[in-house]
Amino acid sequence: MSDSEEREGPHAERPQDWAPATRLVRGGLARTPYGEIAEPIFLTQSFAYDSAEAADRRFSGEDPGFIYARYGNPTVKMFEDRLALLEGATGCRALASGMAAVNIALLGLLRAGDHLVASRALFGSCRWIVTQMLPRFGVESTVVDGTDLEAWRAAVRPNTKAFFLESPANPLLEIIDIPAVAEIAHATGAKLVVDNAFASPILQSPLQLGADMVVYSATKHIDGQGRVLGGAILGEDAALDEHYKELIRHTGPALSPFSAWVLLKGLETLELRVMRQSATAATLADKIAEHTAVDRIFYPARADHPQATIAARQMKAGGTIMAFDLGGRPKAFAFLNALQIVDISNNLADAKSLAVHPSTTTHRSTPEADRLAIGLTEGCVRLSVGLEDPVDLERDLMRALNAAGSAA
């Protein structure tokens, strides 16, 4: 029973007509008879039935209520409904982490004997699933330069069932032309799964760009305040049921109701945070690029980004994350060690600005040759811009860049 459903008639507000800011605060709200303003946390594993017949109806699917928290939970459902409304998707399945979402999204589409094509610039764990785990179960995979459309086309085989990409990619913000790759996937009957963690639902809508499924690490922008892990798969509700319903129910990657509640509250401020962090990042990227210690900067909204035109077409802004090459590990480490406000941390999209050396941390498990193929040298630093005052951040970053400049 959502608030809006109670008010029926010709003048009833329809959540689908709301702008994103309203969807983020009110979407999916399902109040109990107490009329609480904040969303309740239903910290319950299971549910009681009025009669044996009611339990029978619940299990048959005739009565759509909740059964067990591994299958669904009211707080988790509020999070799913709110995120689906924001994304413009008919379905959302919330999961325990971003990796649970990536794993389920791919496992549900693939069987032994199938083939997957993925872009090579992937988060380390995503890459492990594609190149190490899926082949163990008889799924072949080909990793391509995601910016090269001809490479996607050439990788297609008769048994290709899925395409997977990240855009912007972790850690060097490589941008992939989502509509063009969707067209190649669909021409061969494959489904396109897009990991949209870096852009967030505020800056990019992969489903509108032609993707079949979009996956999130809700740990990133959606929480965005360093608290809980979470993930989600969004797409057409019937397709999510077809590919993922049984897999999710029987393998157990359920999101905790408490974490779902934290993420619901995160959604309320998502647009404010992403727009502000992105504006600060754009200003800082220009200042960082001018510093003599910086050999190269990677930020999607800058004209010197290799895929700047595609980024401008499919993203509303450059985002909260950038990377830059300082020309060697000693300089990158000197930069990180001189920071006084920005933390050294492998997380990203947080209210607190965070910087990391990907080669020795997040992308440590990616073989060196593969790191170099995507331009990830030992001099690269990834910076996630938070909500601190831009002037304070600029001072901290310039001091650290000076330290990098004078390091051996």
| Binding status of residue 194 toward ligand PLP by CB under 6 A | no
Residue 220: CB minimum distance to ligand PLP, A: 6
Among positions 39, 87, 114, 166, the unique one binding ligand PLP when judged by CB under 6 A: 166
Handedness of CA 195, 66, 29, 254 (dihedral sign): negative
- Cα 198-398-334 angle, rounded to 5 deg: 85
Which of left, alpha, beta for 289 (phi over 0: left; psi -120 to 50: alpha)? alpha
- Dmax over Cα atoms in the chain, in whole Å? 76
| Binding status of residue 102 toward ligand PLP by CB under 6 A | yes
Among positions 80, 195, 212, 396, the unique one binding ligand PLP when judged by CB under 6 A: 195
Q: Which stretch binds ligand PLP (CB under 6 A): 77-85, 95-103, 106-114, 336-344?
A: 95-103
| Binding status of residue 170 toward ligand PLP by CB under 6 A | yes
Q: Collapsing DSSP states into helix, strand and coil, what is residue 245?
A: helix
Residue numbers 198-227 binding ligand PLP by CB under 6 A: 198, 217, 219-220
Residue 117: CB minimum distance to ligand PLP, A: 18
Tell me the one-letter amino acid at 86: L
Residue 98: CB minimum distance to ligand PLP, A: 2
Q: Collapsing DSSP states into helix, strand and coil, what is residue 13?
A: coil
Among positions 126, 199, 233, 404, the unique one binding ligand PLP when judged by CB under 6 A: 126
Residue 180: CB minimum distance to ligand PLP, A: 20
Residue 15: CB minimum distance to ligand PLP, A: 27
> 222: which residues sit within 8 A by CB, 6+ positions away?
83, 200, 216, 230, 263, 266, 267, 270
- Cα 157-159-164 angle, rounded to 5 deg: 80
| Binding status of residue 233 toward ligand PLP by CB under 6 A | no
Among positions 75, 97, 204, 259, the unique one binding ligand PLP when judged by CB under 6 A: 97
Residue 166: CB minimum distance to ligand PLP, A: 5
Tell me, by CB under 6 A, how many residues bind ligand PLP: 16
Considering beta carbons, is residue 195 or 350 the nearer one to ligand PLP?
195
**Which candidate, 110, 126, 400, 373, places its Cα nearest to that of 284?**
400
Considering beta carbons, is residue 197 or 297 the nearer one to ligand PLP?
197
Cβ-closest residue to ligand PLP? 98
Residue 364: CB minimum distance to ligand PLP, A: 14
Among positions 83, 107, 114, 123, the unique one binding ligand PLP when judged by CB under 6 A: 123
CA contacts within 13 A on the Cβ side of 112: 3
The DSSP call for residue 46 is B
Distance CA 86, CA 90 (A): 10
**Which candidate, 289, 296, 285, 288, places its Cα nearest to that of 321?**
285
Considering beta carbons, is residue 86 or 130 the nearer one to ligand PLP?
130
Contact, 385 vs 393, CB < 8 A? yes
Among positions 27, 74, 108, 231, the unique one binding ligand PLP when judged by CB under 6 A: 231
| Binding status of residue 99 toward ligand PLP by CB under 6 A | yes
Distances (CA, A) of 128 to 55, 103, 389: 42, 10, 37
Contact, 401 vs 294, CB < 8 A? yes
**Which candidate, 71, 27, 50, 34, places its Cα nearest to that of 264?**
27
Which stretches of the chain bind ligand PLP, using CB under 6 A? Answer: 97-99, 102, 123, 126, 166, 170, 195, 197-198, 217, 219-220, 229, 231
